[in-house]
């Protein structure tokens, strides 16, 4: 199977999530859709494009609202253009040409509020946040930024309302397939934190090389959960979380099978809850010939960090193991 570029990887969607069907529109001749040479095939990919940035923006806002810490985009998906599909693709083409397209960095970095000015000066000297993915990590300014970081955050998101999921609130019970370890039936529908097998080694390498703990923060429509990479690895290594094969489809149509781990929210800490729900907003992109591709994006909403998340950040600031293993 041909190697996928970073553009396709960033926009790949699990096929089980491709459920949008638009009625009342005539067929779009995709071979002539000139907005993007990869020819985004449907609204699912545009929703994915906007959904990831929306969830990261909620985390950045929630972290800054604590007055104790703040977060900045760091990974390529986090700093990519978010208002133009063609610019989004050109950004990833530039990243690949620079030889940095396959590097795995956490999506966000979290810092102490007291370090804001020092971090801002280092980022400005590099040319701004958008230049971070194009700068090698041996650059002195990047090393300065990383020297202030408390956590690296890998962001995931799901379009589910947690409190309405059928198995939310269910107690974990011994499962034969897990060798007696606690879990739920395979078909259970509940909040889980996603970790891709292909990301495990690169994230562990980055964590070891930077000496900055990585946490996975998974945002749902109404709630959010977090877990440290170390804790996730312990659960996987112990057999408490089994791998699942999931099929992903890229904008160009290619599909790949990937192993992912769905970590029960009961193993995680509560990251936050939504004080204001986001609003679905109708939007569209148009090619130069006037073809329109509609999609839905989310606007607004407010996430407030929970006490458990604040404890993790404070522990990281104090150098406590909780910041690494929470």
Read off the pLDDT of residues 159-184 as tens digits, 9 standing for 90 and up.
889 999 999 999 999 999 999 999 99
| Least confident segment among 41-50, 57-66, 246-255 | 41-50
**How confident is the model over 259-264, as a mean pLDDT?**
95
Share of the chain above pLDDT 70, in %: 74
Strand intervals (E) in the chain: 13-14, 69-73, 108-112, 149-157, 173-174, 182-183, 192-196, 214-219, 223-228, 243-249, 255-264, 269-276, 279-286, 292-299, 302-305
- C-beta separation of 193 from 227 below 8 A: yes
Query: 7, 48 in Cβ contact below 8 A?
Result: no
Paired tokens of 31: 């071979």
Mean per-residue pLDDT, 271-297:
77
Please tell me the distance from the alpha carbon of residue 159 to that of residue 309, in angstroms, as a whole number. Answer: 21
- Burial readout 144-159 (b: 16 or more C-beta within 10 A, e: otherwise): bbbebbbbbbbbbbbe
Report in angstroms the alpha-carbon separations of 5 from 28, 93, 104, 141, 199. Answer: 25, 8, 13, 28, 15
Which pairing describes strands 182-183 and 192-196: parallel, antiparallel, or unpaired? unpaired
Summary mean pLDDT of the chain: 82
Handedness of CA 104, 2, 18, 293 (dihedral sign): positive
Decide which of 325 and 187 is more confident: 187
What pLDDT, on the 0 to 100 scale, is given for residue 98?
65
pLDDT of residue 276: 80
* pLDDT recorded at residue 16: 57
Name the pTM for this structure: 0.83
| pLDDT (0 to 100) of residue 9 | 65
Alpha-helix residue ranges (DSSP H) falling in 36-128: 43-64, 76-79, 85-97, 116-125
The residue written with tokens 């791998």 in the block is: 243
Lowest mean pLDDT among 29-33, 105-109, 114-118, 265-269: 29-33
Bigger pLDDT: 53 vs 48: 53
**Could you identify the residue written with the tokens 């009961």?**
266
Neighbours of 69 (CB within 10 A): 23
Q: How many whole angstroms separate alpha carbon 326 and alpha carbon 307?
A: 13
In the chain, pLDDT over 90 holds for what percent of residues? 52
């Amino acid at each position: 199977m041909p190697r996928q570029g970073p553009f396709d990887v960033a926009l790949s969607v699990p096929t089980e999530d491709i459920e949008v069907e638009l009625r009342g529109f005539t067929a779009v001749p995709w071979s002539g859709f000139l907005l993007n040479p990869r020819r985004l095939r449907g609204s699912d990919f545009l929703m994915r494009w906007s959904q990831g940035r929306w969830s990261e923006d909620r985390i950045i806002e929630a972290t800054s609202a604590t007055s104790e810490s703040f977060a900045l985009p760091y990974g390529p998906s986090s700093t990519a253009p978010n208002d133009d599909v063609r610019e989004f693709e050109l950004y990833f083409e530039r990243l690949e040409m620079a030889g940095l397209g396959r590097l795995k960095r956490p999506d966000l970095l979290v810092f102490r509020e007291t370090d804001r000015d020092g971090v801002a000066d280092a980022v400005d000297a590099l040319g701004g946040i958008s230049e971070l993915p194009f700068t090698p990590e041996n650059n002195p300014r990047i090393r300065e930024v990383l020297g202030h970081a408390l956590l690296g955050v890998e962001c995931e998101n799901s379009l589910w309302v947690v409190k309405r999921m059928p198995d939310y609130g269910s107690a974990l019970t011994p499962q034969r397939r897990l060798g007696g370890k606690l879990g739920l039936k395979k078909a259970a529908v509940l909040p889980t934190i996603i970790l891709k097998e292909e990301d495990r080694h690169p994230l562990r390498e980055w964590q070891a090389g930077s000496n900055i703990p990585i946490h996975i923060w998974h945002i749902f429509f109404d709630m959010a959960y977090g877990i440290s990479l170390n804790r996730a690895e312990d659960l996987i290594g112990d057999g408490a979380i089994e791998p699942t094969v999931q099929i992903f489809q890229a904008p160009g149509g290619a599909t790949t099978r990937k192993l992912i781990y769905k970590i029960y929210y009961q193993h995680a800490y509560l990251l936050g809850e939504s004080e204001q729900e986001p609003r679905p907003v109708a939007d569209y992109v148009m090619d130069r010939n006037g073809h329109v591709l509609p999609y839905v994006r989310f606007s607004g909403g407010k996430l407030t960090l929970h006490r458990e998340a604040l404890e993790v950040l404070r522990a990281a600031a104090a150098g406590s193991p909780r910041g690494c293993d929470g």
